[in-house]
Structure 1
Amino acid sequence: MTTQQTISLLVGLAAMVLLARLLGALARRLGQPAVIGEVLAGIALGPTLFHGAISDVLLPDTIRPLLGALAAVGVAVFMFIVGLEWDAALIRGSGAIAPSVSLSSILLPFGLGAALALYLMEDHGTGDRTAFMLFMGIAMSITAFPVLARILTDRGMARTPLGVVALACASIDDVLAWFLLAAVVALSGSAGADEWRILLAVPYLLGMMFLLRPALRRMAERRASLRLTPTVFACILAGLLLSAAATEWLGLHYIFGAFLFGVVLPRSGTEQLRRDVHDRLGQMSGTLLLPVFFLVAGLRVDLSGLDAGGLGDLGLILLVAVGGKFIGAFAAARLNRMPVRQSAALATLMNTRGLTELIVLNVGLQLGFLQQELYSLMVVMAVVTTAMAGPLLTWLLGRPTGDDLVDTGTDAPPGAAKATTAPERTAGPTA
Structure 2
Amino acid sequence: MHAMTTTEVFLIAMVIIFTAPYVVWRLGRTDYYAPLVVIQIIGGILLGPGVLGAAFPAYHTFVFNPQVVTALNGIAWWAVMIFVWIAGIELDLKQAWRRRRDTGITAGLALIVPLVLGSAAAAFMLNWDGWAGPDAQQWQVVLGIGMACAVTALPILVLLMEKLEILRHPLGQRCLRYASMDDVAIWGVLALILLDWTRVGRQAAFLGAFALASYLVRKLMVTIPERDRWYVGLIWLGVCGFAADSAGLHYMVGAFLAGAVLEFDWFDEAQMDAFRHHILLAVMPVFFLSTGLRTQWDVGGVAVFGAAALLLAASVVGKLAGVHLAGRILKWKEGEASLFGWLLQTKALIMIIFVNILLDKRIITNGTFTALLLVAVASTMLTIPIVTPKLRRLLAPAQAQNAPDEAGTRLATEQSVT
Choose which of 34, 42, 48 in structure 2 pairs with 1:46: 48
Secondary structure, aligned partner of 2:341 = helix
Question: Counterparts of 2:98 and 2:362 in 1: how far apart (Å)?
Answer: 40
Q: Does 1:276 align with 2:278?
A: no
Q: Does 1:152 align with 2:161?
A: yes
Secondary structure, aligned partner of 1:388 = helix
Q: TM-score with structure 2 length normalisation?
A: 0.85
The sequence identity of aligned pairs, in percent, is: 23
Secondary structure, aligned partner of 1:174 = helix
* Pair 186,379 (structure 1): closer, same or farther in 2 beyond 3 Å: same
| Residue matched to 1:418 | none
Letter in 2 for 1:91: A
* Pair 397,194 (structure 1): closer, same or farther in 2 beyond 3 Å: closer
Question: Counterparts of 2:233 and 2:397 in 1: how far apart (Å)?
Answer: 37
Q: List per-residue Cα deviations over 1:198-235 (Å, max 9, x = no partner).
A: 12233134224434323423x15xxxxx342xx65433
- Give the conservation status (yes or no) of the 8 Å contact 2:47–2:292: yes
**Which runs of 5 or more structure 1 residues have no equivalent in the other structure?**
221-225, 410-431
Choose which of 361, 374, 388 in structure 2 pairs with 1:380: 374
| Residue matched to 1:393 | 387
| Residue matched to 2:68 | 63
Letter in 1 for 2:40: E
- Give the conservation status (yes or no) of the 8 Å contact 1:20–1:291: no
* Pair 157,368 (structure 1): closer, same or farther in 2 beyond 3 Å: same
| Residue matched to 2:132 | 125
Structural mapping, 1:57-136, within 5 Å: 57-92=62-97, 94=99, 96-121=101-126, 122-123=128-129, 124-126=131-133, 127-136=136-145
Secondary structure, aligned partner of 1:358 = helix
| Residue matched to 1:162 | 171
Q: How big is the shift at 1:314?
A: 2.3
Question: Counterparts of 2:200 and 2:148 in 1: how far apart (Å)?
Answer: 24
- Give the conservation status (yes or no) of the 8 Å contact 1:156–1:404: no
- Give the conservation status (yes or no) of the 8 Å contact 1:300–1:372: yes
Q: How big is the shift at 1:404?
A: 9.7
- Give the conservation status (yes or no) of the 8 Å contact 1:27–1:34: no
- Give the conservation status (yes or no) of the 8 Å contact 2:105–2:326: yes
* Pair 405,339 (structure 1): closer, same or farther in 2 beyond 3 Å: closer
Question: Counterparts of 1:132 and 1:15 in 2: how far apart (Å)?
Answer: 34
Question: Counterparts of 1:404 and 1:207 in 2: how far apart (Å)?
Answer: 51
| Residue matched to 1:351 | 345
- Give the conservation status (yes or no) of the 8 Å contact 1:102–1:170: yes
Q: List per-residue Cα deviations over 1:303-329 (Å, max 9, x = no partner).
A: 597444443322211111111111111
Q: Does 1:202 align with 2:207?
A: yes
Between 250-259 and 353-362, report the one with greater CA deviation: 250-259
Question: Counterparts of 2:66 and 2:20 in 1: how far apart (Å)?
Answer: 20
Higher relative contact order (CA 8 A, sep 6+): 1
- Give the conservation status (yes or no) of the 8 Å contact 1:23–1:38: no
Structure 1 or 2, whichever has the larger Rg, is 2
* Pair 207,388 (structure 1): closer, same or farther in 2 beyond 3 Å: same
| Residue matched to 2:358 | 364
Letter in 2 for 1:6: T
Between 358-367 and 26-35, report the one with greater CA deviation: 26-35
* Pair 405,156 (structure 1): closer, same or farther in 2 beyond 3 Å: farther
* Pair 314,281 (structure 1): closer, same or farther in 2 beyond 3 Å: closer
The alignment yields a C-alpha RMSD, in angstroms, of 2.8
Question: Counterparts of 1:166 and 1:20 in 2: how far apart (Å)?
Answer: 29
Question: Counterparts of 1:215 and 1:238 in 2: how far apart (Å)?
Answer: 13
* Pair 42,67 (structure 1): closer, same or farther in 2 beyond 3 Å: same
Q: How many residue pairs are counted as aligned between the two chains? A: 392
- Give the conservation status (yes or no) of the 8 Å contact 2:85–2:257: yes
Question: Counterparts of 2:271 and 2:292 in 1: how far apart (Å)?
Answer: 31
Q: How big is the shift at 1:276?
A: 2.9
Q: Does 1:297 align with 2:268?
A: no
* Pair 406,167 (structure 1): closer, same or farther in 2 beyond 3 Å: farther
**Which runs of 5 or more structure 2 residues have no equivalent in the other structure?**
403-418
* Pair 254,408 (structure 1): closer, same or farther in 2 beyond 3 Å: farther
Question: Counterparts of 1:207 and 1:42 in 2: how far apart (Å)?
Answer: 40
